Chain A
Amino acid sequence: MRHTQCNDGQSNLKESTNHILVEIHNLVKYFPVRSGLFQKITAYVKAVDGVSFNIKDGETLGLVGESGCGKTTVGRSILRLTRATSGEILYDGKDILKAKSSDLKSFRRNMQIIFQDPYSSLDPRLQIGESVGLPLYVHGMKNAKQRQEIVVAMLEKVGLKAQHLNHYPYEFSGGQLQRIGIARALTLNPKFIVCDEPVSALDVSIQAQILNLLSDLQEEFGLTYLFIAHNLSVVKHFSDRVAVMYLGKIIELADRDEIYKNHLHPYTQALMSAIPHPNPHRNRQKRIILTGDVPSPLNPPAGCHFHTRCPVVMDVCNQGEPEFKEMSPGHWVACWKVS
């Protein structure tokens, strides 16, 4: 069937692991703030402010950061669910931001998204079979019988059964709904999936089931993931490389082991030490506790955005923005202290 054919194609791709699938250059997304009688634009929320990275074929790039740092906006911009202000997003060498809406459909066939909240991301009035089959219909598979065959195959892949086809979302638990969301993302046999906080709304024991499912599917279909999350230990477990975002910028990017053992940016260090560890002996040591809150992206601090909370701040930090530099092969950092 269709899926087995595509599998062979993808296993060939997987061998050439250095092929870059998604390439992002200087991505910027400003949201205008309007106020007054004539709704004039008075300011901009700088949600994403010059982000560059690339994702290799078959790898998982983790994108981690606190709420409001712009990680979700990056994910949505790649699929053009929000229109980026400027920058370049190349998928397989072709610029998505310049694509016409007719071409966009073929891009989106290869790129899908799994959302954070499984309850609100499925239409409550559609049966599961319809929801999961809808992408196929939109992309031109009009034969209802074939559609249903693929939907059943997909539901079985994610651990559900054919008998669930005619059920409605309210009949399922959060973990099951997330499985359905994953099945829907997979029906078109995409290469690239944006996972936007796929497990943060789920209970601990269900989280592990979904993470295992995602890695099984990656192996089986040769998928490439952009894994967005706020939980650094989940990201580290799941990703090949990790990018840390703070206020619209990537401040550190490295392989997962490197970022865990040799994190250079003071924000990454604070994030690492802030994670409560399920080991009572290890924990009660001194941790780095940042003071204050994340500043508003409406009016980010001058210079390095982190300098208002940084424990090792220097004079230079509030003057100029540090350059995003490669300190050792594959390990990029933007910090005055380090450079």
Chain B
Amino acid sequence: MNDPNFQNDDLLDIHNLKTYFFTREGVVRAVDGVDFKVKVGEIFGLVGESGCGKSVTSLSILRLVNPPGRVVDGSILFQGRNLLELTDAEMRQVRGNRISMIFQQPLPSLDPIRPIGDQIVEALLVHKKMDQRQAWKHAVDLLNLVGIPDASRRSHSYPFELSGGMAQRAMIAIALSCEPELLIADEPTTALDVTIQAQILELLCDLRSRLGMAIILITHDLGVVAEMADWVSVMYAGRVVEEASVNSLFEEPLHPYTRGLIESIPVLDQDRKRLNAIPGVVCDCINMPAGCKFAPRCKVQIEKNMTICNKHEPHLLEVSPNHKVRCWLYEEFSH
């Protein structure tokens, strides 16, 4: 199935991805020129606030964007093949088999009227050509793998009989059933309690090292990213504004938005009387500002009175080997 020319260790290579929604009110540029690469076995964090386009990016990878949305430009190379050029039948072989996804809300994502074992078996029958008995046995093994106690009995449970943490484990089991090379986890722990979140994060880390799959971890929680990810992209208004290795990003955040995000969360071992909040709200997604999309909320832009920010959009520049940023402050590095 692999492209014979596929040699390097980039599992996924997204280039200039643009997904627009053509609504009656106007065109929403939900994802507007996103580039990133995910390496084999890597945990790649995609961070941003609601509406920044991180979920639409992941749906675009799986070609699950529904009208009025459409991928209008770009390429998504998975193991060297452009997913956007596959036929629907070929795409079905990728979806759930090579790339699978888990969602924020486990319960609405599971079929409420079928036992969870049955839902794992379904994927195995479609993709792995197992018979019913083998598939059930494998399903129970998977439930064991994700840490569901008493798995053989639990495989007959319906989703409503599971707690939030257990349902999330069951969904991970379904996602893992075909041993995908890439798992997209869209806010996998946001709906869970802190102690359960810790369990699920540890499970994901453990599965990554045991199965060697790559994970795209989509989250708004910088703490989760710092803990899990190897490489991070920060998104704002449909664009990647900063991309770096996790250490580089947290040691030396360059973009004013990233800095603002890091400073605005209360941290246990620090005492700050006031939080450094980012002023204003995320810009209107139909009438975006002309220049840098963050400029109206940017303290640096206002302090230094940089007129260029409101006129032209900066490029994503490589400032140091492990660090890219989209901001006029760093534009001198390119010359």
Contacts and interface: CB of A to CB of B under 8 A. Distances in A.
A293 B224 contact: no
A211 B275 contact: yes
Contacts of B267: 233, 277-278
B198 interface: yes
Nearest to B166: A293
A48 interface: no
Interface residues of A, number: 44
B50 A237 contact: no
B266 interface: yes
A293 B222 CA distance: 25
Contacts of B261: 204-205
A271 to B, nearest CB: 6
A299 to B, nearest CB: 14
Interface stretch (A28-36, A113-121, A279-287, A321-329): A279-287
Contact of B226 (A67, A203, A237, A276): A276
A237 B227 contact: no
Nearest to A64: B194
Interface stretch (B66-74, B103-111, B276-284): B276-284
Given A203-B49, A203-B50, A215-B274, A276 B227 contact: yes
Contact of B272 (A237, A278, A293): A237
> Main SS of chain A's interface residues?
helix
B246 interface: yes
Interface residues of B, number: 43
Contacts of B161: none
A209 to B, nearest CB: 4
Interface in A248-292: 260, 270-281, 283-284, 287, 289-291
B262 A233 contact: no
A292 to B, nearest CB: 8
A70 to B, nearest CB: 14
Interface in A155-173: 173
B226 A293 contact: no
B163 A279 contact: no
Interface in B178-228: 193-199, 201-202, 220-227
A279 B281 contact: no
B268 interface: yes
A164 B194 CA distance: 37
A276 B277 contact: no
B277 A205 contact: yes
A271 B247 contact: no
Contact of B202 (A231, A236, A289): A289
A294 interface: yes
B328 interface: no
Contact of B250 (A207, A208, A279): A279
Contacts of B115: none
Nearest to B165: A293
A271 B268 contact: no
B126 interface: no
Contacts of A205: 49, 260-261, 264, 277-278
A260 B195 contact: no
A273 B197 CA distance: 12
A66 B226 contact: no
A237 B267 CA distance: 8
17 contacts: A67-B193, A204-B222, A205-B49, A205-B260, A205-B277, A207-B264, A211-B266, A211-B275, A230-B194, A234-B266, A238-B266, A260-B268, A275-B194, A277-B226, A278-B226, A279-B226, A293-B196
What 10 pairs across the A-B complex have the smallest Cβ distances? A276-B223, A237-B266, A208-B277, A208-B264, A208-B275, A66-B193, A274-B198, A205-B278, A203-B49, A209-B277
Interface of A: 66-67, 173, 175-176, 203-209, 211-212, 215, 230-234, 236-238, 260, 270-281, 283-284, 287, 289-291, 293-294
Given A204-B221, A274-B197, 9 more contacts: A203-B49, A203-B282, A205-B261, A208-B276, A236-B268, A274-B198, A277-B226, A290-B198, A291-B199
